[in-house]
Amino acid sequence: MNIKINKYSEMKLENRTAIITGGASGIGLETSKLFINEGANVVIADITEAAGKSAARKLGNKCHFVKTDVSDKSSAYFCVIETIKKFGRIEILINNAGITSDASLLKMSSEQFEKVIDINLKGVFLMTKYAANHMAENNYGRIINTSSIVGLYGNFGQTNYAASKSGVIGMTKTWARELGRKGITVNAVAPGFIATDMIGTVPEKILNTIKERTPLGRLGTPSDIAKAYLFLASDDAEFITGITLSVDGGLVW
């Protein structure tokens, strides 16, 4: 994994420090690479220890791994404290970690519902609560929460996922109002169907239908989402807060 540091143009995140939850794979890993290339220090916060350590080792001394269960308040708090110990500050939080556990309403268990809510919604709350306290002390912060087009439009078999991602949008709007006076912007990104392991169980026939209905004619890539995170984390977006940015190739349900 070779990272080419951009030496010939201004880096958008130079000397910033970012926590990226779910940063060991997929969209999170792509974001970690991009942010480091743009000058940031990155903490990969992930529950998967082997993948997290491997990613941090390959990404070099500007990357650090902290094993983190975002749904556990002690673990989330520890991640924030370890980030400050390692890099001295936190300017950016990317709440990217998320899971699915799909079933139709009549077949979904309460355990399935609670598991997804714990990671996708409670986890965003906990990480933001602890990171925002530090950001507020320094009167600067960029918080980007990962929602989904499912949170905007719903989807068959995803009651728990839709609820969590709709909740993320509600929290984003609320925090934008609460934290703006502290110099902190809070925005959400709503990815469409992205070519990651998360859609690995979706039948090829359905994926082809999605591509056909998408004006840009393809699934999204992790890079598409990482670049949206970069924009909202940078000073290019300094007067943008409380929005949900759909990155879905124009897909409308």
Series of mean pLDDT values for 10-residue runs along the chain (253 residues): 59 97 98 98 98 98 98 98 98 98 97 98 98 98 98 96 98 98 98 86 86 94 98 98 97 77
Phi, psi of 41 (to 5 degrees): -85, 140
Q: Are 147 and 169 in contact (CB under 8 A)?
A: yes
Instruction: Decide if 251 is inside a domain.
Output: no
Domain presence at residue 81:
yes
Quick one: tokens of 93?
């939080």
231 domain-assigned: yes
CB 67 within 8 A of CB 44: no
Question: Does any domain span residue 4?
Answer: no
Half-sphere exposure of 98 toward its Cβ, with a 13 Å CA cutoff? Answer: 28
Residue pointed to by tokens 């958008």:
12
Asked whether residue 240 is assigned to any structural domain, the reply reads yes
The whole domain housing 41 covers 17-246
Q: Which amino acid is at 135?
A: M
What confidence score (pLDDT) does residue 67 get? 98
Q: Which residues are catalytic?
A: 161
CATH number of the domain to which 115 belongs: 3.40.50.720
pTM value? 0.94
Length of the chain: 253
Distance separating alpha carbons of residues 127 and 19, to the nearest angstrom? 9
- Amino acid identity of residue 44, one-letter, is I
Cα(244)–Cα(144) distance, rounded to whole angstroms? 10
**Domain count within the chain:** 1
Amino acid letter, 200: G
At 1 the pLDDT is 59
Determine, yes or no, domain membership for 6.
no
